[in-house]
Amino acid sequence: MMAIMTDYGHELQFGTFITPRAASPESVVALAELSETLGFDLVTFQDHPYQPALLGAWSLLAFVAGRTKRIRLSANVTNLPLRLPITLARASSTIALLSGGRFDLGLGAGGFWDAIEAVVGRRLTPGQSVDALEEAVQVIRALWAVDEPGGARVDGKFYSVRGAKRGPAVPRPMSISIGAYGPRMLRLTGRVADGWVPSFEYLKGAAALTDMNRRVDDGAESVGRAPTAIRRWLNIGAAEAKVEQLVSLAVDYGMSGFILAGDDASTIEHFAHETIPAVREAASAARRH
């Protein structure tokens, strides 16, 4: 078994996690535009289609794609139980084509099952939700594989395609990141995903990342992938947005991207102007020693 790594050597990247409040849609878009102006790599929105206080994430992503030119876009993360994989594959390709390849797909196995069931979504057990997510990734990648001859075929228990036409080619390969915490989901992330995106508030401290990273690595190695193939994003709040803590999370605990949650423009600006440059410099210095 390959030795467990604590620093995967990725260039650090940074994003924002903006609440898509339906009460102030232009403010949401303005924060996304500000994120681009400030040089962030990524802007993300939560996806809870059963929540009337929030804008529809995928419509918002398409709109923001038209209002920006450089920044990448993603749901953080997509609610799979209420989205068919073929719909996600086609919608992803569409936004990628219209944005010049600036779309990344974030996926989650589901939560808030009462709310999902209330809008006619199917309630799944934890084990079923992991299996369904794995099948969904297979379907989505099959529909993205435009260079393979013939139609896409996946025979699954939850999701299947039998000869479905593949989608159009996009400007750059789209990545898939998975929001994962449990052992099976973490290993699945290592096997099939390009990124892992947990939230700090759901961890039992930074030390929990050591074991979680190991499970992602085990999943990658089980199918012959290098653990470095998976970028490790972490959703953080203002309380975690301290230089020393972020440097430690990067070089000691393997995180390679930080997504700041919050809707205050001044906090986002301070993070971009003060925190990010200091984190990059300190992390580079730590890596040299």
Average pLDDT, consecutive stretches of 10 residues, N- to C-terminus, the chain (289 residues)? 67 98 98 98 96 97 98 97 95 96 97 92 95 98 90 96 93 96 98 98 95 97 97 97 97 97 98 98 93
Length of the chain, in residues: 289
Query: For residue 185, which phi and psi values (nearest 5 degrees)?
Result: -65, -35
What pLDDT shows up at residue 5? 53
H helix or E strand, kind and range, residue 13? strand 13-18
Is the Cα torsion angle 147, 151, 152, 153 positive or negative in sign? negative
Q: Of 86, 4, 34, which is closest to residue 263 (Cα–Cα)? A: 34
What pLDDT shows up at residue 111? 87
- pTM for the whole structure: 0.96
**In terms of DSSP bridges, do strands 78-79 and 13-18 run parallel, antiparallel, or are they unpaired?**
unpaired
Q: Structural domains in the chain?
A: 13-288 (3.20.20.30)
What pLDDT shows up at residue 4? 47
**Could you tell me if 64 and 29 are in contact, meaning their C-beta atoms sit under 8 angstroms apart?**
yes
What pLDDT shows up at residue 2? 43
Helix axes 208-222, 183-192, angle to 10 degrees: 50
